[in-house]
Structure 1
């Protein structure tokens, strides 16, 4: 049987684009359909614009710090209009790069929605049907909002980059990394920021000591964090939004942002109808080679809800090409993935948390918390954390957790050592780089506790 294409990719985000490009480089005839903007969540609605907003928000404290170092710099107002213009120009540029990469690779693109008709056929929004020997699902995910009265008055992380003006007073609902990152961003940009989270502590799933320090520092910086608090309803009150909370309070906000979870984009795709298995969260169920229950259909990235990180989606896309088109079956390695959370303070983590490791085997914990030189000299009371989780039996470093400015940069390098199976003694043998914050990772000699 002949097909229109060897591979049809649905989704123009990082995972889908990488798979399409790499496959095309192997001489594979590839097409890709994207109903929105090329670049996906990361480039258009996530990592990139968010990180640029993080950079913008961090300048707010620099004038005061500079004065402590002898500089006579006068503070000025932040211009959302100026920043937003440059932000969207950069996103347009990056989308253009993605489009050019696909075109130069020989990938045929369709700027419209696609869904599956059968195991080898996709239907585009204009009714055109295309056949392919293999189909790759890479539709990503989207933010979801709770079912409650007045929810339509709120926004999600997708909308925050398009605000006409910055609110004076904002409520962020949620306790995950997206909620916490945007709480820091909006506070840094001069917005009076409140955060409600229904749980006992923010950043569930991360190391308890690390997330506790982040919450404490967020509060000290002026973010009004309310734990054990959710909202019951929202209603319009003049130009503001009246929010009723489970703690019995009613408050007015200019803007309310929900960061209460994400869902895979699998609805209306015709997947279950052709035999693709969908999990309870709406995710595409795949095996270790990213193959679905339909042999010709594969899936990578957030639509599979495995590890929802851009570099992971890219690796899954490349492993898919190795498996299907290069005859080299390549399972995706989801173990020991270094991760950065761009909260303020920033967090970098790789491996097991103290709690996870203690459930698995006897461990030693090496940790230190201190005021870093640069901030301390400027009169700031901020603290950082360096922490290693070590196996008593093998002496391997099972986890590394850093809460500090630049933690994301540090954890990338520490992640190499942890992935290689470095022991605590390997860390000890490494000469410290002085004076730096990160030197503490190799100078902690005595465990603070065992479990």
Structure 2
């Protein structure tokens, strides 16, 4: 096919993750002849190697944990046993169902866009022509790059012996022991899930604390919880010098303050960040520039340095989350068709992870908030909440940061059961500009985990309105 004339489209979207799917749907909805071209399967990392499969594995870990708690509630069963091959079957079932029903595919096809899966890596032949590894050629007025990211590689001897998070999720059996290098969101999740499945896990973080982008209290609470669950947490461990194969697995050699040490495991997973998946694209051939980190540079309209190329999602190096990728894909497609008129809005970005316990945050951190605001900080422990006591899940806290002048919520940070769900409510309140006294008048169902946010809001409102007349709070919210 390499010698055939290119197929002509108005818009060609490269990559079928959340950003690419939304870009293709938006373009097709506007009547543009649209092709969605993806190296592998439709859905991208979000459906095939990210939130969908990871959340399925995390759900299995939750079920194991809850099964071990049954005796506490008078339910007698045997010790739960994980059938990992069967779990992987369930993961594949979920990925298939998500790809078929929940990842915009039906809408994209109904809108008239053509989807080319497993087309192989794409490469620009020029500003308006692209060829895939399988020989398909495409010509378009506009291209939208949504190729996502890949695990970052380190220039360390023996690094090829390590696995990525993708390799960890595709194991055919649970490894006896695992070293996870990098304790950001991905590394923490890998460590938490494999620990629940029975691996002996060591988690190494070069910086002084795990989850360095979270509040210090969140990092400390998560490290404490991990250690209590059996994970060995090593913070500020030094610099890795090499990886080498052993008779039973892999050895990591590292040094700090002139002292060399080593650690061994059957599997070493590297989770040290992300790079843009652009190596095969020949961006220079399309006149597309990258930033110093290697991500595709885009302006506020998602346009690259080329007039005919836009980009969205992880490939741009911005906040690497599915919700934000969807928004960026919409903006990129809208501007690709109608000129650079729509900007990505300043938005509220809730972030969290399905570890055990969960953690989540939205808005400003305390130190950041203090730079420009006079603030009130409220902290409520899960141990004080009725639902947490009922379920035996009392570890964690909710920290609320409120502006003293406007009484509006600036940030919310949580560690504990259902933290990722709870923070969504805080995100809506921040986006709506709710004052804490307005939020406090919303009656929340009792007993629920959302009650911890309700209690934090009521506490903040009482402090800020102390002595004011006409204060009206719902009694159930502080239970």
**Which category of TM-score, normalised to the shorter sequence, fits these structures?**
over 0.9
- TM-score, structure 2 normalization: 0.87
Partner residue in 1 for 2:364: 352
Q: Give the one of 190, 200, 207 matched to 2:208.
A: 200
1:98-117 equivalence runs, <5 A: 102-110=108-116, 111-117=119-125
Q: 1:254-307 CA distances to partner (integer Å, 9 max, x unpaired)?
A: 111000011011223222343222101111111111111212210010001111
* Cα distance change on mapping 1:388 and 1:175 into 2, 3 Å: same
Which residue does the alignment assign to 1:245? 254
For residue 324 of structure 1, report the CA deviation from its aligned partner. Answer: 3.6
1:272 and 2:276 are equivalent in the alignment = no
Written as runs of structure 1 = structure 2, the 5 A alignment for 1:336-375 is 336-371=348-383, 373=386
Structure 1 residues 330 and 61: alpha-carbon distance in aligned structure 2, compared to 1, 3 A threshold: same
SS of the counterpart of 1:402? strand
Q: Which of residues 214, 217, 220 is equivalent to 1:209? A: 217
Q: Note the residue ranges of structure 1 that are not aligned, 5 or more in a row.
A: none
Please tell me whether the aligned partners of residues 361 and 413 of structure 2 are also in contact (alpha carbons under 8 angstroms). yes
Structure 1 residue matching 2:324: 3-state secondary structure = helix
Distance in 2 separating the partners of 1:378 and 1:306: 38
The separation in 1 between residues aligned to 2:391 and 2:123, in whole angstroms, is 57
Structure 1 equivalent of residue 72 of structure 2: 68
How many Å apart are 1:240 and its aligned residue? Answer: 1.7
The aligned runs of 1:133-144 (5 Å cut-off) are: 133-144=141-152
Report the equivalent of 1:34.
38
Corresponding residue number in structure 1 for 2:445: 433
SS state of the match for residue 306, structure 2?
coil
What's 1:335 paired with? 347
* 2:67–2:80 Cα contact (<8 Å) kept: no
Contact kept? 1:368, 1:385, Cα under 8 Å: yes
Q: What whole-Å deviation, never above 9, does each CA across 1:209-236 have from its counterpart, x for those lacking one?
A: 2222122111112111010115322211
Cα gap change, 1:423/1:244 in structure 2, threshold over 3 Å: closer, same or farther?
same
Tell me if the contact between 1:208 and 1:355 (Cα under 8 Å) persists in the aligned partners.
no
Q: 1:156 & 1:109 partners in 2: Cα distance?
A: 28
CA distance in 2, matches of 1:443, 1:63: 30
Q: Which string of whole-angstrom CA distances, capped at 9 and with x for unpartnered residues, describes residues 155-212 of structure 1?
A: 0011112212111111101010000111110111111111000111111122222222
Contact residue 398 and residue 453 of structure 2 kept, 8 A: yes
Paired residue for 2:229? 221
Aligned positions of 1:277-356 closer than 5 A:
277-325=289-337, 329-356=341-368
SS class of match (1:158): helix
**CA contact 2:382–2:416 (8 Å) conserved in 1:** no
Across the aligned residues of Structure 1 and Structure 2, the Cα RMSD in angstroms comes to 2.5
Describe the shift of the 1:169–1:373 C-alpha distance in structure 2 as closer, same or farther (beyond 3 A). Answer: farther
Report the CA distance between 1:93 and its aligned residue. 4.0
Give the TM-score taking structure 1 as reference length.
0.92
Equivalenced residue count is: 448
2:127 aligned partner: 119
SS in 1 for 2:166: coil
Q: For residue 48 of structure 2, what is the aligned residue in structure 1?
A: 44
2:180 is the alignment partner of 1:172: yes
Of the three residues 267, 271, 276, the one matched with 1:259 is: 271
**Partner of residue 467, structure 2:** none
Structure 1: distance between partners of 2:55 and 2:149:
19
User: C-alpha separation between the residues in 2 aligned to 1:16 and 1:265?
Assistant: 14
- SS of residue matched to 1:321: helix
Gaps in structure 2 of 5+ consecutive residues: 1-5, 465-479
Rounded to whole Å, the distance in 1 between the matches of 2:230 and 2:388 is 17
State whether residues 26 and 334 of structure 2, in contact with CA within 8 Å, keep that contact through their aligned partners in structure 1: no
* Equivalent of 2:96 in 92, 96, 117: 92
Assess if the C-alpha contact under 8 Å between 1:307 and 1:334 holds in 2.
no
Task: Tell me how far apart the structure 2 counterparts of residues 53 and 334 of structure 1 sit (CA, whole Å).
Answer: 33
